[in-house]
Amino acid sequence: MRLIFAGTPDFAAQALRAIVAAGHEVALVLTQPDRPAGRGMALQPSPVKRLALENGIAVFQPPTLRDAAVQAQLAAVGAEVMVVAAYGLILPQAVLDLPRFGCLNIHASLLPRWRGAAPIQRALLAGDAETGVCIMQMEAGLDTGPVLLRGAFPIAAAETGATLHDRLAELGARLVVEALGKLPLPGEPQPAAGVTYAQKIDKAEALIDWSRSAAELDRHIRAFNPFPGAQAQFAGQTVKLWRAVPLADGGEIGRILRVDRDSIVVACGSGALAVSELQKAGGKRLAVRDFLAGHPLKAGDRFDLPA
């Protein structure tokens, strides 16, 4: 099938790789303009752009798709379908209407739950028992279109944002190839009940509030691993927490109950959190025994509480 692919991060690159491997003709790749990154803040291509160039696929990086000249360039491709995965730009109706089979979106949730920008982290934060991927026929509304294919799996107890991302990216790649091979597919309208929105992650959300339950903070730490990293404050300094497990212990909120070579146990609003991997500002992620060598925390110390 002759298609246009629109995507930007690693999640999308995995789908593009699968589509190319399946033998489809990717005539054009749309991706976000190069962004400054790294210590030197040099312009860096997106993962999708790098993959496209490796495969000799033409790349187009318009800042908007609302421009008539841009739309004319897309129309000239003569694509039968457009596949969209975490692209980052709004597709106007004129673009949605271009391909014969329309535009298909790979969305990392079980729609209509978690429409929007951050479904992976929101599912973890909410303690959802399962998640999955929907291949959706795009329309003007935000993730409101009919679902062509869906796949689901349970969320594991130790799942992080990183591991869940990788599992969903793999599922999304497999499902979109399956969908492309079966077009045209009937769409299942999304039910009106059960709609939730996955708002974009704000870095301010990363701050840990020790008055919340240990179970909530466990999900908080896992959801924000790797981005933006759950942040606690100790003596006015930021410490990122990367790995922890909830315990039934209790005590004064934010107080360190005990410290050993494997964990620092901190009292929460309900229960306690046994933290096993930390990172000081500007430092590396360290296991507790290595962290304690340079930062001697002890039982009785207390993490700062949010104002």
* Count of CB atoms situated within 10 Å of the CB of 165: 20
pLDDT interval class at 79 (50, 70, 90): very high
Neighbour tally for 235: CB within 10 Å: 11
In the predicted model, what is the mean pLDDT of residues 188-214? 95
Pairing of strands 286-287, 272-280: antiparallel
Q: What is the pLDDT of residue 129?
A: 98
- pLDDT tens string 9-45: 999 999 999 999 999 999 999 999 999 877 778 889 9
In tens, the pLDDT along 82-105 reads 999 999 999 999 999 999 999 999
Lowest-pLDDT range of 24-28, 42-46, 208-212, 266-270: 42-46
For domain 2-197, is the CATH number 3.40.50.300? no
- Tell me the per-residue pLDDT of 248-262, one tens digit each, with 9 for 90 and over: 999 999 999 999 999
Parse the chain into domains and list their residue ranges. 2-197, 203-294
pLDDT in tens, 113-137: 999 999 999 999 999 999 999 999 9
**CATH architecture for the domain at 203-294:** Roll (3.10)
Residues 190-197: contacts with CB within 8 Å, 24+ apart? Answer: 190/111, 190/112, 190/144, 190/145, 190/146, 190/147, 191/112, 192/112, 193/112, 194/112, 194/113, 195/112, 195/113, 195/115, 196/112, 196/113, 196/114, 196/115, 196/122, 197/114, 197/115, 197/116, 197/142
For 135, other C-beta atoms within 10 Å of its C-beta total 23
**pLDDT tens digits, one per residue of 140-156:** 999 999 999 999 999 99
Looking only at the bridges linking them, the beta strands covering 264-267 and 256-259 are antiparallel
Cα separation, 83 vs 57, in Å, equals 15
